[in-house]
């Protein structure tokens, strides 16, 4: 069965087709939501919302991209809505982790995860879609709604920042227009 046939069967209310679709894509959507949100409960909420929206909008799927890319786009939009609704947590200087916690984090293997959390949102999102979810650069651009060159630049800058953070160098914050060392 082609992806368009599967989408058509889902839109016609076929529960078996909907179950097949969810079984094939739920773990990838949950993994993406978890990597972006950093919290299992929030990720599960985002994933559930993603499939609710997908079920409502499956009739709009035309086959211009794979169902995988289509559902990742919905998941990414749900993540963005979730992120807009919550207020970012600002730590006071005395609440920042000590060097002992940083060493313990390194020792337990959480250094990459912590480094990912320190990336600017746009870079972290592009990096996760490309490196973790293994989407092609064109699919990343489609999910993010940006030109392919912009997606490529975000992944590039994310790699640079991660490399510096993991090597203990100065943190680099960048956007598409300028780069600065903190």
Greatest alpha-carbon span in the chain = 58
**55 and 108 housed in the same domain:** no
Domain, as residue range, for 58: 3-85
Q: Are 157 and 146 in contact (CB under 8 A)?
A: no
Q: Are residues 45 and 107 in the same domain?
A: no
Q: Is residue 96 part of a domain?
A: no
Local structure of 180: helix, strand or coil: strand
Query: Can you give the CATH number for the domain in which 66 is found?
Result: 1.10.1740.10
pLDDT by residue for the chain (182 residues), tens only, comes to 899 999 999 999 999 999 999 999 999 999 999 989 889 999 999 999 999 999 999 999 988 889 999 999 999 999 999 988 875 544 434 344 444 554 444 443 567 778 888 899 999 999 999 998 899 999 999 999 999 999 999 999 999 998 888 887 555 455 554 554 44
Instruction: Tell me what pLDDT residue 132 has.
Output: 86
Residue written as tokens 């909008």? 57
CA distance 65 to 3: 10
Boundary (domain end) residue, out of 85, 112, 131: 85
Domain harbouring 164, CATH code: 1.10.10.10
Let me know whether 135 and 72 are in one domain.
no
Number of structural domains (the chain) is 2
């Amino acid at each position: 069965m082609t992806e368009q046939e599967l989408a058509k069967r889902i839109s016609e209310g076929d529960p078996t087709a909907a179950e097949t679709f969810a079984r094939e894509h739920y773990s990838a959507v949950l993994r993406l939501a978890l990597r972006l949100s950093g919290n299992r409960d929030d990720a599960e909420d985002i994933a559930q919302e993603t499939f609710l929206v997908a079920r409502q909008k499956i009739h709009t799927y035309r086959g211009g991209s794979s169902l995988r890319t289509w559902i990742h786009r919905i998941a990414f939009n749900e993540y963005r809505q979730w992120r807009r609704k919550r207020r970012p947590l600002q730590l006071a200087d005395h609440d920042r982790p000590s060097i002992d916690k940083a060493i313990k984090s390194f020792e337990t293997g959480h250094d990459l995860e912590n480094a990912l959390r320190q990336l600017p949102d746009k870079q972290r999102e592009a990096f996760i879609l490309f490196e973790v979810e293994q989407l092609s650069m064109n699919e990343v651009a489609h999910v993010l709604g940006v030109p392919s060159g912009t997606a490529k630049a975000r992944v590039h800058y994310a790699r640079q920042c991660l490399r510096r953070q993991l090597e203990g160098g100065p943190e680099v914050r960048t956007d598409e227009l300028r780069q600065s060392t903190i």
